[in-house]
Chain A
Amino acid sequence: MNKGFVLTMEAVISILLFGIAILCINLPSENSLKELLIIQQENDLLKVWSIDFPSESEMILDTKSLFENASVYLDGAEILKGSGNESVSSEGIIIDDFLIERKIRIVVYLN
Chain B
Amino acid sequence: MIIIHNKGFIFSIDALIAFTIMLFSLLVFVIILSNSTTQLVKSTENFYLEEKTIFVADSFVKNFDTENSLLGACVFDLEKKRIKSNELTRTNFANMHKLQIDDFFVKQVIIKTHLKEERIFFDARNEKECVTVKRFVILDGEKAIVLLEGCLNE
Q: Interface of A with B (CB < 8 Å)?
A: 3, 7, 10-11, 13-15, 17-18, 20-22, 24-28, 30-33, 36-37, 40-41, 44-45, 47-48, 51-52, 62, 65-66
Determine if A48 and B137 form an interchain contact, defined as CB atoms under 8 angstroms apart.
yes
- Give min CB distance, A44 to chain B, whole Å: 4
Residue among A14, A20, A21, A28 making CB contact with B40, cutoff 8 Å? A28
Residue among B14, B25, B50 making CB contact with A32, cutoff 8 Å? B50
Q: Interface of B with A (CB < 8 Å)?
A: 7, 11, 14-15, 17-18, 21-22, 24-25, 28-29, 32, 35-36, 39-40, 43-44, 46-47, 50-51, 54, 58, 61, 85-87, 133-138, 143, 145
Query: Which residues on the A side are within 8 Å of B50 (C-beta)?
Result: 32-33
Query: Which residues on the A side are within 8 Å of B35 (C-beta)?
Result: 27
Q: List 27 A-B contacts (CB under 8 A).
A: A7-B11, A7-B14, A7-B15, A10-B15, A10-B18, A14-B18, A14-B21, A14-B22, A17-B22, A20-B25, A21-B28, A21-B29, A27-B35, A27-B36, A27-B39, A28-B36, A30-B43, A31-B46, A33-B51, A33-B54, A40-B58, A41-B135, A44-B61, A44-B137, A47-B86, A52-B138, A62-B143
- Bound-state Cα–Cα, A107 to B137, Å: 19
- Bound-state Cα–Cα, A30 to B45, Å: 11
Residue among A18, A22, A30, A62 making CB contact with B136, cutoff 8 Å? A62
Determine if A44 and B135 form an interchain contact, defined as CB atoms under 8 angstroms apart.
yes
Q: How many A-B residue pairs have CB under 8 A?
A: 87
Determine if B24 and A36 form an interchain contact, defined as CB atoms under 8 angstroms apart.
no
- Give min CB distance, B106 to chain A, whole Å: 16
Which 8 pairs across A and B sit closest by C-beta, in order of nearness?
A44-B136, A14-B21, A31-B47, A10-B18, A47-B86, A14-B18, A21-B25, A18-B25
